A = this chain, B = another copy of it.
Amino acid sequence: MRISINANRCEPSPMRKFHPYAVEAEKKGRKIFHLNIGQPDLKTPEAYYAAIRQYNEETLEYAASPGMPILIDQIRDYYGRLGVELSQEDVLVTTGGSEALLLTCLSILDPYTEVIIPEPYYPNYTTFVHAAGGVIRALPTSPEDGYRYAYKERIESLITKNTRAILITNPGNPTGVVLTEEEMRMIADIAKKYNIYLICDEVYREFCYDEECGVPTMGRFADIADNLVIIDSVSKRFSACGARIGCVVTKNKELQQALLKFCQSRLSVATIDQIGAAALYSVDHEFFVRSKQEYRKRRDTVVGLLRQIPGVMVEEPMGAFYVMATLPVDDTNKFQYWLLEEFHDQNETVMFAPGAPFYETPGKGINEVRIAYVLKESDLVRAIDLLGKGIKQYRQQVMGLDE
């Protein structure tokens, strides 16, 4: 029996390989601080639970394939508050932002067609693009330049006759880069000029900490309505990752029809979670203000502490809840194994996401890590402390440096 070419082109989760080593470390009684996963620890608003507890239909039926009107209307109201008018057909509810991405790739990519993505990028993009037979053309960035990618010439130089889309995450995972309004406009113009899709993954939309951040959504540029595909989700916005509720927002009629065919084929998104998600969209604006304050404080803590570790290079991220850091070690992948197998400080150790899997280009990201600042303040302080101690000991014991 054969496995498909496209499945073989996908990689297993780069985090997962450390899992057995983490389990072993825990068996030895080690406490692990997890900077490796983007699972926010903030409380999910009670509105979600209240709504699902009230559900009292005798039969748990399929919902409508494009999504439940109660949720679509909430999403439309939310976009209305951002200055984007959406009709009902412009929103297709999906099982998380993940399904939104997969169905978009299946709808627009043919084998060997290309998607331009700034690297480093969210590794699961690879699976979605490869599932459709597509190819990623990486737009290079550098840690020294804070991973900024909005350079017209560099983007245009990657466009070929096979380019179907530019895919960006704004605010960015893993880099925390947020585009300015001028940068957003420039990228929108490129999509328009070359008549390609612009897929904007905006699931971190509310997590934007600086004044230079551009408008909250690419949806504000009405002139690229036909090019634009927005990927959205309640996961990070409302700290409700386990609800698996996302959506695709597009005004492109042909694309709507293509997406709808895939939505119909899988019948519907979970009924109860759509009802819970609709309730989430009614939470007070104060919720976002508080979440943002909390993450901003954590960012400042993490970046401040990372800068105190000798040899660590880090640029302050403007958004999302990740920061990329360059560490003074030979290989962050090897360093992670060592932290789990050999290192501990008072029986505690730390995990991060090694940088290489965030890159398409071989050899890049070897000295980098992604740190998710989704733990509470005191845990973050201890986690970075452990990272610093680990770096020092690793440089001495493994790299043989006498400092």
Contact = CB atoms under 8 A, between A and B. Distances in A.
A11 interface: yes
Interface stretch (A44-52, A296-304, A314-322): A44-52
A40 B59 contact: yes
A336 interface: no
Contact of A133 (B39, B58, B111, B258): B111
A227 interface: yes
Contact of A1 (B58, B226, B239, B273): B226
Copies in the complex: 2
Interface of A: 1-8, 10-13, 16, 39-44, 48-49, 52-53, 55-56, 58-63, 65, 95-96, 98-99, 102, 106-111, 124, 127-128, 131-133, 164, 195-197, 226-227, 239-244, 252, 254-255, 257-258, 260-262, 264-273, 276
B55 A98 contact: no
Given A39-B61, A41-B59, A58-B44, A108 B242 contact: no
B258 A244 contact: no
A122 to B, nearest CB: 10
A259 B55 CA distance: 33
B261 A95 contact: no
B98 A252 contact: no
B261 A7 contact: yes
Contact of A242 (B10, B44, B61): B61
